[in-house]
Structure 1
């Protein structure tokens, strides 16, 4: 019950901030939304993209799933994730798409060390097969590295896989080719607090926001 009370108190603060202190924001949003960014993030409760970026309502269209994956554009693609991407790109005409991965991802851990599900379903395992080629490559190329290093490499590589899969959607690729849409790969390091961004030019993740000295 403490969680419920915390959520209700939080909504009271939200209501005060956006409906009393700054009523014009929702006054404008009542007629519709025009976010400039689609963010595809993980369901992990430690990685809230709106909280992390200080976004206000209406700033960001968010899709969250296990391990922040984007399925390729195929007839059998996940309609839930693919439809949200389609709506953001084709209807809302967002200007950028950010794929936000993070350290210590449970979905990646399940992918790297799969086990037989002890239940009637295995939806997590089925979903994580999207990134199976990445896991296989990491196991092959980094077989001599520690489990932690392999997990980290897979977390980063899965972000790049999702960026590649985004380009398999023809209407999204057209907007990228026309210069109307930018794609970004971000990685949140839970341990240091740093935010990394993928540089296509240097083909590696570089600090976008460095960790605080006290975080080490």
Structure 2
């Protein structure tokens, strides 16, 4: 009986080893492709405040989601995001926008109290996903504010990008969509940020109300007597 126990133990160990290998398969980690943005040269370029930037709740997770033909989403079994997707989006847009505006004065919100932006970009990303047979899709809305905080532009954006189907190709396509979004933002920001500053024109002081005096009162003519048979007073 002792001779039979050894093969059984070895067999059980092998089965557990194979099970462990199947459970702990290596997972690929992905980051958004920020392209190849150049370094902005002008330290005194346009001052732009980027943010707040909000993303949809379903994107705030490590799992790489796959859009299905019926519109549903499934978690990828072999890939996830390497860190925070929200932080990756912020940095990609920041670098792209600074490069396209050629300005080192593009900062993420919240900024220091001493920073006075020429324009502010408030962005909401409601969709950013793809699937093996579904194109990468980006849905977003931006609002552009001028120096006084007034909304000067608001726009809804829908962008699509085809890909080869693999997880790596899908992530690359999503990065391209964000690069295209940054390009559109830079075009929209320039005319608002370049507007000359118009100082508040002081209102013309209102002259104080004039106090009426006795000299300003209407004069009532004095009655003068007319000599007739009857004494009549004419006014």
What TM-score results when the alignment is normalised by the length of structure 1? 0.27
Q: Pick the structure with greater CA Rg.
A: 2
Higher helix residue share: 1
Higher strand residue share: 2
What TM-score results when the alignment is normalised by the length of structure 2? 0.26
